[in-house]
Structures are given as structure tokens and as C-alpha cells.
Amino acid sequence: MAYESIAELETALARSSYLADRGLATALYLALALEKPLLLEGEAGVGKTEAAKALASSLGAPLIRLQCYEGLDVANAVYEWNYARQLLHVRAAEAGTVDEAELFSREFLIRRPVLEALESERRSLLLVDEIDRADEEFEAFLLEVLSDFQVTIPELGTIEARQRPYVILTSNRTRELHDALKRRCLYHWIGHPSVEREIEIVELRVPGVPERLAEQSARFAAELRALDLQKPPGIAETIDWVRALVALGRRELDAEHVQATLGSLLKVHEDVVAVRDEALAGLLARSA
């Protein structure tokens, strides 16, 4: 076991610039202790991917990331054959310049993230990011990996993990995941932090930020999340916004610079329009 206590894990994550609350730290600790995949769900920008990165950093484990998207298949996630190299080898063999070889052998296999994690010399952390963006067929394929930590390649047979990778899956919940996948994982929901916790996160991730600016920015972000916006800002957006304000030499919020930098905080035009002018004045007053 990498850590003797949850508190020790929390400290290690903080050294990797990630502040985890006790619930998340407990979920990560149990994932390590029980050697089970962990599914982290929550809105975009709340720190799911960063939690995986920080855990890998604290463990000194290679981070292998599989970014999911619609249409993701085995060839892009697990392995594919290097057909161009196979063809060249066939032609060279016909010309007598090389010996014939089995074309469906390791020599011609291209490893993708899942197979790379299973065959890693060092115990790695496999991050399956935004699994909800992948098709249901790929989600079903993952069941073998998450259950037995193995994959089957028809030409080579079953390949088992040299050592079980740590596995974290993230989901923004754009669709509901199947129960079969959830049963194979521990589960934790990451919500938006309290204002006090967000201030701590901003101060950790933006070294040298003025205390007043960190406090006002966290309160302003919390006020925005209470509005009916299409895409409320996550912690990631708050951090980017504060970095922009610091780069402009600001020590506290004012209407001019907030309006000029809203593009760092809000990513939908209609949301930016909704908080301008009179609404902006009220938000600033409540954030003071």
C-alpha cells in the first residue's frame, strides 16, 4: 500500500498542488488499497482529471491517458496493426532482402493507451478521461479490462497485465453509464468546492496571488454558479481567470477588468452577455 493513511495521501496530493477534501481523499485511498478502478463524476472543471494527474505524480507512477470521444474504437484505445510496415516487409521478403516473418506478431503491433498500461514495466495510472463521450459499444469493451485487467487480441491471444495499473475513469455525466461498468468501480461525485476551499485552491495554484483578489474571485465564481448559466465556471476556469487578473497587475476586482477578462471565466457568449452591465455591478457588490 502506497500510503498508510488518508491523511498521508492528502498531504501527498497537496505536495502535487491538489487540495482534496476528505471524501475524495478517502475514495482515492480505497481505490489504491482495494486495487479497484475509481469512477469520478462531476461537472466539467471541478478537478476530476487533475485529481488523477496529482495522484499519479504523488505515486511517481507514469500517467497513461486515454481521452474518450464519440467513435473511439479498439484500434485507437488498445492496439492496431502497423499495416504500412507489414506491407513493406512483404515486399522486402518477395524481393529476397529480408527473411519472411509472421506478420501478426509483436514486431508489427502498435500499442495504444490501454495495452500500454497493461504492459508497462512500472505500475502506471490509466486515466480513462470523459468515458461518457465514448459510445456504449466501447464502454462494453472496457468491462474485460476493468474486471480481469486483460485484453484479447485474436492474432496473439489473451494478454494479461504484468502488474495491475491504477485506473481512474472520469465522466461529466453527459449520458448515464451502464450499471455493469459502475459495478466494477468505486464511485465518487466531485462537486463545486465551498468558497473557503476555492480560496485555498486558488492560493495554491496561483502562487503570489493577492489575498484580497483570491477571496473576491472565489466569491464571484460562486455567485456565477448560482445563476442560470449554460456553462457555469469550474475551478479550472477560476484559476485561469485569476492568473489573467494577476498578469494584468490586479490586486482586487473592478468592473473594468472583470468585463475585459470574462472570456477566461465564461466560455459561452450568451453567458458573458448575461452577466455584463447591471448584472455585473450586482455580482461585484456581493463578492466584495
Tens digits of residue pLDDT in 9-28? 999 999 999 999 999 999 99
- Note whether residue 170 is domain-resident: yes
Domain shared by 239 and 263, yes or no = yes
Domain shared by 283 and 143, yes or no = no
In the chain, the largest separation of any two C-alpha atoms, in whole Å, equals 81
Domain shared by 24 and 140, yes or no = yes
- For residue 277, pLDDT beyond 70: no
Q: What is the mean pLDDT of residues 107-132?
A: 94
CATH of the domain at 59: 3.40.50.300
Structural domains of the chain, count: 2
pLDDT at 278: 60
Domain shared by 71 and 153, yes or no = yes
**CA dist., res. 216 & res. 211, Å (int):** 9
pLDDT at 127: 98
Number of H helices, E strands in the chain: 14, 9
- For residue 280, pLDDT beyond 90: no
**CA dist., res. 51 & res. 149, Å (int):** 22
Tens digits of residue pLDDT in 220-266? 999 999 998 999 999 999 999 999 999 999 999 999 999 999 999 99
Domain shared by 143 and 233, yes or no = no
Domain shared by 123 and 210, yes or no = no
Q: How many CB atoms lie within 10 A of CB 211?
A: 11
Q: What is the DSSP letter of 21?
A: -
Predicted structure pTM score: 0.88
Domain endpoint, select from 166, 189, 212: 189
Considering the chain, what is the average pLDDT of its residues? 92
Structural domain boundaries, residue 70 = 6-82+92-189
Q: Which three cell numbers stand for residue 135?
A: 459510445
- Note whether residue 1 is domain-resident: no
Q: What is the mean pLDDT of residues 148-159?
A: 90
Domain endpoint, select from 153, 174, 189: 189
Q: Which residues, in sequence order, are CB contacts of 245 under 8 Å at separation 6+?
A: 213, 217, 253, 257, 261
Q: Which three cell numbers stand for residue 288?
A: 466584495
For the ranges 11-25, 100-114, 273-287, the one whose mean pLDDT is highest: 11-25
